[in-house]
Amino acid sequence: MCYDINTIFLKGAPMDSNDNKPNHSLPIQPYTTRYLILEKAQEHFMRDGYKATSTRRIAKEVGITQPNLYHHFANKEALYIAVLEMVANNALDDLKLIPAETDHQLEETLIKMTYYLRETHPYNFPVMLNDMKKEISPETSFALYKIFQKAYLQPFIDLFEENSAQLIENFDADLLANHFFLVISPYMNPDNLSYSKLSIETIIDFFLNGIKR
């Protein structure tokens, strides 16, 4: 299952409701109820996707009631945004450091950045993209796109732009970054045995060089 990322996220108008906007006014302190909710929700959303995740189950595992959970987060979509924003902020800080470690070499940097995402942020990308297309409101899709664009797409866009001399003429770095995520998304779950025969190195070699001799 494969979708254009921009189509998935930007399927509606920009947000005009405050209910699902990321809340930057509440710092996340370790071991508070809000922190514990986010930790448990991250585990479920990243593993099971949006649709299959139950806020009732999250509340039970945290040791609170579902109404108590909704005291901290207006609804399930608001919780989803908060989780992805928390994860994405950590990813952005780390992804920015990788190009310097590889002297900005395109293939080596792509490999390291992809391994980082798979090992540190093991989204079930196909499930997540499908959920976003079918289960989430346009307002939330827009909010998630802005988070995704800043934390995940932009480091790859920057990398492609820095290595433009090695790429085809008149390339679009934004388009390449979007396509790259669609290519690697099935391989981001290390437990997915269907794709275990292809290494990250091989996938990126195919992406950069194709399969022709």
Domain boundary assignment for the chain: 5-13+21-209
Q: Name the residue type at position 34.
A: R
Percent of the residues in the chain that have a pLDDT greater than 70, as a whole number: 76
> Confidence class of residue 187 from pLDDT cuts 50, 70 and 90?
confident
Q: How far apart, in whole angstroms, are the C-alpha atoms of residue 199 and residue 191?
A: 13
The matching CATH number, chosen from 3.90.1310.10, 3.40.50.12370, 1.10.357.10, 1.10.8.60, for 5-13+21-209 is 1.10.357.10
Which pTM value belongs to this model?
Answer: 0.74
| pLDDT at residue 1 in the model | 41
- 3-state helix vs strand vs coil in the chain, percent to 5: 70, 0, 30
pLDDT of residue 140: 87
From CA 212, how far away is CA 209, in angstroms rounded?
A: 8
Instruction: Estimate to the nearest angstrom the gap between the alpha carbon of 19 and the chain centroid.
Output: 21
The tens digit of pLDDT for each residue in 62-95 reads 999 999 999 999 999 999 999 989 888 888 999 9
Q: Is the pLDDT of residue 2 over 60?
A: no
pLDDT for 10-67, tens place per residue? Answer: 444 344 444 444 444 444 555 689 999 999 999 998 888 888 899 999 999 999 999 9
**Which is it for the CA torsion 46, 53, 128, 17, positive or negative?**
negative
Q: Six-digit token pair at 127?
A: 């499930």
Residues 16, 134, 1, 22, CA torsion sign: positive
What 3 state SS string does 165-197 have?
HHCCCCCCHHHHHHHHHHHHHHHCCCCCHHHCC
pLDDT digits (tens, 9 = 90+) for 123-141: 666 666 677 777 788 888 8
